[in-house]
Structure 1
């Protein structure tokens, strides 16, 4: 009976403290607006404004041949990948446009291009590309190579047909049938929208618990809590529970308010599993946030610590750089980033419909990191406030 009464008291205190944390967040309008903005407008901007496809790359033509063949080749550089700025008469003009950033590429067709092709001679063209933006420069190079190679193959096939009097069979070819799974239209908004949602979750999972604890230090209320009948665990746990609830609400807002209705992102898997994995992940990072609060004394220090941890966590997540492309040391460091496991699990659930039988390695990774973080956080918290 006594144990039951003590248990009820313990849970009532936990409930009251959790409600107190939620009220404190509601009374902080700046932080509250920041949270709402991040889970709505920020996700919308990332999904609608970032593209990994080549689009409207400014191109100028330096045509020294002015033949039907050169015009046909130039005409194949079409929107939406390329945007023509016009022609130039001197090579220095193209160099100046590249230097000033007004053009991304200069297509240089040499004199005699069409005549040499008609005689069956090998011919080449030059494409100068501004690769200061390495991603866009690489995409421009790949697209231009495909356009020129296709044009060359068509010219060769036409000449072979003419030489044989048009009676020979078609030249051998490989039928390349490509099937794109999970994002068949290769819509960047699907990837960028989900990626930004996960990044925002990662940021606030550490920032909000750290801010809640540091606020107690700055206002001097932590001493009042320490002399109350509350245990250190009853002081720490409500902050984690309240902020986990707020972030799960933010995930629901971003998912059902922005990603699904605006960008038509398909949710193939179970939303229940997704929110369960998100709860586990947010709880893990909330422990890191409380740990940050134990070693900082104000919001500025806590914010800097969050950024210090967030930056390598994002770079080691595998979202921007494939793990196979990373150096061995960085690849090993990736396995201690909880965001790596969360990204794989989230994309697996939302876009691939993966279940727990497939996702269990990701869950084990989050759980192991969470247990380690929780152990260190509880020991540090009890040492400082116990």
Structure 2
């Protein structure tokens, strides 16, 4: 008797899961949106966003016109800086900054070279358009390094210390920097994986919520409730079907875009990564179904998903390092399942970390999943039981 019951239960589960997949396939707009998000959107994020200074438009206002001023200006080179040319007065540089045609103006004062030759301390002015604060900060940092290096070399030359092709021929501290996991500091690796994880987060909530709300809008939820199916047998197939769809999307984004196009190395266990993804998607699918129990149409469900998604992303640590967050925000970060998923995913894909290292991340997602699933089941049974 128990065997018959189990066989019937599993056959119902299989039939309902297939029904959910067919419903998604019959919604071409949502299906195209899913395919776009796991392909073109990830490609655009990986190829179009950079945290490095590149082609910053620079103009020169050189009043001195000496060998020293030309040598200093010549050190602002591509790919960080791109010369637009020289200007004849300060007002012209201000207009270029105001019009957005130039990002920086290098102003070298008169008698700059003569003052350096006499050992005087001279200053140059760099005006930067910091309306884009990130690019403005990067331009300031790069320019500071260039000018500081030039000033140090001039001081050493005046002190009689010779320079050679290998560097400064004087006692110095050698800063040996080792860049791990992304030695070329390729922004496409970070941005591509980050966008993939964000897309997974979005659809893990949106697809189950859409599947449940669609039942409400079409009135088929009442038909399911009068069938022999229990509320749990109605809810679980939606989670399984959407987990399968999103895992397919992850494989498409990872092996169709990130690895072949951007050469992102996958140094860890793919099995462990997909197990992590199953756990994460199942947790967020519970949130999606919980959203569906308190909304009546797709517009409301979409707004609720955005309302939950935005703080989850900001608290994930992907955009703002945890160390830069206020204390209360850092505490809230531990309530975001995306925080655990991002850390574990980067650990697996780029660092080759194993389960023994990442178990706190798995446990965090599991704990949130248990709490969400409990609340979802209770709310679902109360509304539809």
User: TM-score with structure 2 length normalisation?
Assistant: 0.98
| Equivalent residues in 2 for 1:52-201, closer than 5 Å | 52-161=51-160, 170-201=169-200
Measure, in 2, the Cα distance between the counterparts of 1:203 and 1:291.
15
Do 2:344 and 2:358's aligned partners in 1 also have CA atoms closer than 8 Å? yes
- The residue that corresponds to 1:37 in the other structure is 36
Deviates most, 133-142 or 87-96: 87-96
- The residue that corresponds to 1:7 in the other structure is 6
- The residue that corresponds to 1:269 in the other structure is 268
Question: 1:175: Cα distance to partner?
Answer: 1.1
List 4+ stretches of structure 1 deviating above 4 A: none
Superposed CA RMSD in Å reads 1.0
How far does the alpha carbon of each residue in 1:65-119 deviate from its partner, in whole angstroms, 9 at most, with x for none? 0101001100100110001111111111111111111111110100000000011
Measure, in 1, the Cα distance between the counterparts of 2:161 and 2:141.
30
Report the 3-state secondary structure (helix = DSSP H, G, I; strand = E; otherwise coil) of the residue aligned with 2:159.
helix
Quick check: 1:353 aligned with 2:352? yes
Do 2:161 and 2:170's aligned partners in 1 also have CA atoms closer than 8 Å? no
| Equivalent residues in 2 for 1:214-233, closer than 5 Å | 214-233=213-232
Measure, in 2, the Cα distance between the counterparts of 1:330 and 1:64.
50
Do 2:46 and 2:189's aligned partners in 1 also have CA atoms closer than 8 Å? yes
Do 2:38 and 2:249's aligned partners in 1 also have CA atoms closer than 8 Å? yes
- The residue that corresponds to 2:248 in the other structure is 249
User: TM-score with structure 1 length normalisation?
Assistant: 0.97
Question: 1:162: Cα distance to partner?
Answer: 6.9
Measure, in 2, the Cα distance between the counterparts of 1:162 and 1:9.
88
- The residue that corresponds to 2:310 in the other structure is 311
Measure, in 2, the Cα distance between the counterparts of 1:188 and 1:231.
48
Report the 3-state secondary structure (helix = DSSP H, G, I; strand = E; otherwise coil) of the residue aligned with 1:194.
helix
- The residue that corresponds to 1:284 in the other structure is 283
Question: 1:309: Cα distance to partner?
Answer: 0.4
Report the 3-state secondary structure (helix = DSSP H, G, I; strand = E; otherwise coil) of the residue aligned with 1:336.
coil
Measure, in 1, the Cα distance between the counterparts of 2:192 and 2:267.
16
Measure, in 1, the Cα distance between the counterparts of 2:256 and 2:59.
43
Report the 3-state secondary structure (helix = DSSP H, G, I; strand = E; otherwise coil) of the residue aligned with 1:175.
coil
- The residue that corresponds to 2:50 in the other structure is 51
Measure, in 2, the Cα distance between the counterparts of 1:170 and 1:70.
24
Quick check: 1:260 aligned with 2:251? no
Measure, in 1, the Cα distance between the counterparts of 2:372 and 2:101.
50
Deviates most, 154-163 or 342-351: 154-163
Measure, in 1, the Cα distance between the counterparts of 2:265 and 2:376.
38
Measure, in 2, the Cα distance between the counterparts of 1:101 and 1:318.
32
Question: 1:148: Cα distance to partner?
Answer: 0.3
Report the 3-state secondary structure (helix = DSSP H, G, I; strand = E; otherwise coil) of the residue aligned with 1:58.
strand
